A and B are shown apart, each in its own frame.
Chain A
Amino acid sequence: MKWTAGKITYAYDEEQCTCGAALCVEACAQSVLDANEETDKMEIVNTVQCIFCKLCEEICPTKAISIQGALTLDDVVHERDW
């Protein structure tokens, strides 16, 4: 399953979703994700609230989530000396 917002793509591969603990659901502070009570797999329930914090991607042990295209610090000129 995939969804996009502007230039950002959020991809979730259900087949790789095997941690059995819905860790990403716990990591999501924005109620974008919910756990399926039976399978303990994650379900994407509210894409509108996603802030692209990437905590779900960071915690997933099986790399079932991939968020691409979000701007990062390296994309802009900014002053590092402060």
Chain B
Amino acid sequence: MKTTTTECDVLVIGSGMGGLRASIEARRAGLKTLLVEKSILTRASASIYAGALVARVPPDYLVKMGLAEPGMNFEASIEDSFQYFVREGARTGGSNFTANQRIAMTVACEMQTRAEELRDFGVEDIYAQRWLGPPAVYGTHMMLPLLAHARKIGVKTRIMTMITDFIRQDGEIVGAVGFDLRKKQFVTFRASSIVMATGSCGQIYERSYAPIRMTGDGLAMACRAGATLTDMEMMGFDNWGVALDGVPQYWIPGSVARTRGVLRNAQGEAFFLKYAQEHRVAGKGATLSLDDNLSRRYGRPFIELVPHLIKASMTEILEGRGKNNAVFLDLTKVPKDLWNVDSKGIFTQNLLRGFNLQEHPLPVAPICIGDFKGGGVRIDERGRTDVPGLFAAGDVSPGSSLLYALVTGVMAGRSATQRAHATAVPELTSESREWTEDQAAALETILSRTPSHLGDPGSIKSRIKGIMWKSAGPLRDRQGLQRGLEGLKAVEEEAIPNLSASGSYRKLREAMEAINMVMSGQSIVSSSQYRTESRGYNQRLDYPDRDDTNWLRNTTLTRAGDAAMTVASEPVDLVFMKPEGYEERAT
């Protein structure tokens, strides 16, 4: 078994927006910066799929598309952006008031500057709205110039190298271990600071459109290294996932399709009309006319309607009023001229391979967005995790969007830089060296184990995804979540010990991803079980209401050594803003 050791000041893991931006920050300060990626640079990231840096969405556009009402300001003063982040959540963490308000404020304050600064790094059109409009290499207009800039200023890169764990010494992170898929060798890194920007765990669900490498590696590694995960129950879902045989299970980004369509069940009933009345979703001035766009129809901003639409669709499906686990999106009455302004519609047309949306209702069902979520490795407003030496940026921390990855990339990069200036690259103790050898031996075992169906990484991943969708999908309850935990435990005890990579380093990557998926899954299910209310993306059938009296709290997950994970919660620090009518409660 061959292991090589590499030393640097700042080690950055992941070449999406968060990782690239953090590495530029460290390198600008003159530090020896190494960016490690388990695939090739940028192309496996979620960042390459993000069409727009939403730091300045023109309000006219949003109003026209029914995504906002006149008067809502997305040109966005710092104050407005901050309020939006906290109320809505997900983009900067949490969901409906559980976001870390200091981080939300930092993102709001810095977004314009950080976006404009991208021009200095060679990004020409920073506000380009390339939402899934072909030539369909979307985020390339940002990610490729950024990568070129990072290289130009001397960031070193190492591709096809998967990090599998962090080296912890005297309570601090001093390095990482992993393997190089091309050179077929095990690797050890020593660094003064480590920034992880490893993205989300969206692959955890059967129905998901997260890119395949989004397996929650960073979440699992951080947790094993003693860092705290927070609000993991807040995984994002979208209502418009295609559910038609022979076409990809993907989302429909087209805003016309999303805002103009009428959802119908198998009997043809426009079921959301009834749901909206029964659940008092309709706001003031709702027209309840199917000819209007969604926000006018129901008198509420589009973004507030989404969780209700998901709940209603799932209910139809679960109660047997759908067809083949789907409901129908009826766009047959949408006026033709509206389609022509919809650039995202092109993507949908390509995706649907000739299926004519203007003639037939399309089977749709909720789907995991993968990137839109409120949970992750807990960081403070300077990108620091709870463990000295370990920093995090982007989707691996609680929040998700290109903008959040950009700003937290700067935060984490800067804090990592400060530490690296103050701390020499640590030597490994003999105990740590022994530990790294054990890790390499464990990888070797998986690599050389006799293959079996039970231990096949691909089958294990499918098993996890099925369990997660059934137990901790868009609608949850106590029994389902319990079954989910039991299912994951069975995978952990029966399948993981048999993991086999059949001598292939590609399969070894799959195998290690599967291990991380089990852990991410357990964290989602346990936190969801713990939060006995419905808020944002944690919709519980047995606790259907949002409960601000007891649950303006963040769930936390920690693991000491090899012990099981412990779930707890802490009050949200409502430092800048409280929900309307909220009375502070002694805790």
Q: Which residues of A contact B (CB under 8 A)?
A: 5-8, 21, 23, 26-31, 35, 37, 48-55, 58-59, 70-73, 75-79, 82
- Assess whether A8 is in contact with B350, with CB atoms less than 8 Å apart: yes
Known: A5-B353, A21-B182, A79-B341. A54 touches B134 (CB 8 A): yes
Q: Interface SS of chain B: helix, strand, loop or mixed?
A: loop
Chain B residues whose CB sits within 8 angstroms of the CB of A49 once the complex forms = 248-249
From residue A6, how far is it (CB to closest CB) to chain B in Å? 3
Stretch among B23-31, B39-47, B109-117 lining the A interface: B39-47
Task: For the complex, give the distance between the alpha carbons of A62 and B138 in Å.
Answer: 22
Chain B residues whose CB sits within 8 angstroms of the CB of A27 once the complex forms = 40, 43-44
Task: For the complex, give the distance between the alpha carbons of A58 and B140 in Å.
Answer: 10
Size range of the chain B interface in the assembly:
35 or more
Chain B residues whose CB sits within 8 angstroms of the CB of A30 once the complex forms = 212, 248
Residue from A5, A21, A48, A54 in contact with B135 in the complex, judged by beta carbons closer than 8 Å: A54
Task: For the complex, give the distance between the alpha carbons of A21 and B506 in Å.
Answer: 12
Residue from A5, A28, A73 in contact with B134 in the complex, judged by beta carbons closer than 8 Å: A73
B305 close to chain A: CB less than 8 A: no
Known: A48-B247, A48-B248. A78 touches B342 (CB 8 A): yes
Taking CB atoms and an 8 Å cut-off, the chain B residues in 445-469 that contact chain A are none
- Assess whether A72 is in contact with B43, with CB atoms less than 8 Å apart: no
7 contacts between A and B (CB under 8 A): A8-B353, A28-B212, A48-B247, A51-B350, A52-B351, A54-B136, A79-B341
Chain A residues whose CB sits within 8 angstroms of the CB of B250 once the complex forms = 51
From residue A74, how far is it (CB to closest CB) to chain B in Å? 9
Task: For the complex, give the distance between the alpha carbons of A35 and B39 in Å.
Answer: 13
Residue from B40, B248, B346, B349 in contact with A59 in the complex, judged by beta carbons closer than 8 Å: B40
From residue A54, how far is it (CB to closest CB) to chain B in Å? 5
B133 close to chain A: CB less than 8 A: yes
Task: For the complex, give the distance between the alpha carbons of A78 and B133 in Å.
Answer: 11
B60 close to chain A: CB less than 8 A: yes
Other CB < 8 Å A-B pairs besides A26-B160, A73-B346, 10 of them?
A: A23-B40, A26-B43, A49-B249, A55-B137, A59-B40, A71-B134, A72-B133, A75-B346, A76-B342, A78-B340
The 5 closest A-B pairs by CB, nearest first: A6-B354, A29-B211, A27-B43, A82-B61, A5-B353
Which among A30, A48, A71, A75 has the greatest number of chain B C-beta atoms within 10 A? A71
Task: For the complex, give the distance between the alpha carbons of A57 and B211 in Å.
Answer: 17
B432 close to chain A: CB less than 8 A: no
Chain B residues whose CB sits within 8 angstroms of the CB of A21 once the complex forms = 182
Chain B residues whose CB sits within 8 angstroms of the CB of A26 once the complex forms = 39-40, 43-44, 160
- Assess whether B346 is in contact with A71, with CB atoms less than 8 Å apart: yes
Residue from A51, A55, A71 in contact with B48 in the complex, judged by beta carbons closer than 8 Å: A55
B71 close to chain A: CB less than 8 A: no
Task: Across the interface, name the chain B residue whose C-beta is closest to A70.
Answer: B350
From residue B246, how far is it (CB to closest CB) to chain A in Å? 6
Task: Across the interface, name the chain A residue whose C-beta is closest to B60.
Answer: A82
B343 close to chain A: CB less than 8 A: yes
From residue A68, how far is it (CB to closest CB) to chain B in Å? 12
- Assess whether A52 is in contact with B44, with CB atoms less than 8 Å apart: no
Task: For the complex, give the distance between the alpha carbons of A53 and B504 in Å.
Answer: 28
- Assess whether A52 is in contact with B43, with CB atoms less than 8 Å apart: no
B569 close to chain A: CB less than 8 A: no
Residue from A6, A35, A73, A75 in contact with B353 in the complex, judged by beta carbons closer than 8 Å: A6
- Assess whether A77 is in contact with B341, with CB atoms less than 8 Å apart: yes
B497 close to chain A: CB less than 8 A: no
Task: Across the interface, name the chain B residue whose C-beta is closest to A71.
Answer: B346
- Assess whether A35 is in contact with B506, with CB atoms less than 8 Å apart: yes
Chain B residues whose CB sits within 8 angstroms of the CB of A55 once the complex forms = 43, 48, 137
Task: For the complex, give the distance between the alpha carbons of A78 and B506 in Å.
Answer: 43
- Assess whether B354 is in contact with A7, with CB atoms less than 8 Å apart: yes
Taking CB atoms and an 8 Å cut-off, the chain B residues in 115-161 that contact chain A are 129, 133-138, 140, 160
B58 close to chain A: CB less than 8 A: yes
Chain A residues whose CB sits within 8 angstroms of the CB of B61 once the complex forms = 82
B49 close to chain A: CB less than 8 A: yes
- Assess whether B506 is in contact with A37, with CB atoms less than 8 Å apart: yes
From residue B6, how far is it (CB to closest CB) to chain A in Å? 21
- Assess whether B343 is in contact with A76, with CB atoms less than 8 Å apart: yes
- Assess whether A53 is in contact with B342, with CB atoms less than 8 Å apart: no
Chain B residues whose CB sits within 8 angstroms of the CB of A58 once the complex forms = 137, 140
Chain A residues whose CB sits within 8 angstroms of the CB of B134 once the complex forms = 52, 54, 70-73
Task: For the complex, give the distance between the alpha carbons of A31 and B134 in Å.
Answer: 20
Which among B136, B250, B340, B342 has the greatest number of chain A C-beta atoms within 10 A? B136
Task: For the complex, give the distance between the alpha carbons of A71 and B43 in Å.
Answer: 22
Task: For the complex, give the distance between the alpha carbons of A48 and B247 in Å.
Answer: 5
- Assess whether B137 is in contact with A53, with CB atoms less than 8 Å apart: yes
- Assess whether A51 is in contact with B40, with CB atoms less than 8 Å apart: no
Chain B residues whose CB sits within 8 angstroms of the CB of A6 once the complex forms = 350, 352-354
CB 8 Å contact bits of B325-351 with A (1 = contact, 0 = none): 000000000000000111101110111
From residue A29, how far is it (CB to closest CB) to chain B in Å? 3
Chain A residues whose CB sits within 8 angstroms of the CB of B182 once the complex forms = 21
Chain A residues whose CB sits within 8 angstroms of the CB of B135 once the complex forms = 54, 72-73
Task: For the complex, give the distance between the alpha carbons of A82 and B59 in Å.
Answer: 9
Chain A residues whose CB sits within 8 angstroms of the CB of B345 once the complex forms = 76
- Assess whether A52 is in contact with B340, with CB atoms less than 8 Å apart: no
Task: For the complex, give the distance between the alpha carbons of A49 and B564 in Å.
Answer: 37
- Assess whether A53 is in contact with B343, with CB atoms less than 8 Å apart: no
Chain B residues whose CB sits within 8 angstroms of the CB of A31 once the complex forms = 212
Known: A5-B353, A78-B340. A51 touches B248 (CB 8 A): yes
